[in-house]
Amino acid sequence: MAVPEILSYVNAIKRKRYFHKLIFYFVYAIFNTGDKNSEIEIPLSDLEIYDKIFGTELWSRKEVSAENTLKVKLESHGAKAYFFK
């Protein structure tokens, strides 16, 4: 599902929703295809999330939480993937 508002923050974002044992899981992948490093703040409402979130950044395994805004630092041509319950 594309979220058009996000395209103003980064070059691309992909969202996938999974359902397992009566719980929905979301995976967001954020890509920076530009030549410069970027630090962005994504309002959770732009991701269609309206509650506080807890999850994991999949490659670094760091725990992530956010209440209103998800802050992401991306190197040029870098990407991050987040897993949220």
Q: Residue 41 is encoded by which pair of tokens?
A: 């703040």
Q: Full-prediction pTM beyond 0.75?
A: no
**Residue 83, pLDDT score:** 84
**Residue 6, pLDDT score:** 40
Outline where DSSP puts E strands in 1-85: 12-20, 23-31, 38-43, 53-57, 62-66, 69-74, 79-84
Domain that holds residue 23: 4-84
Per residue in 3-48, pLDDT (tens digit) is 334 444 444 555 655 555 556 677 888 888 788 888 888 888 887 7
CATH classification at residue 71: 2.60.40.1180
Task: Tell whether the model's pLDDT for residue 73 goes beyond 70.
Answer: yes
Q: How many structural domains does the chain have?
A: 1
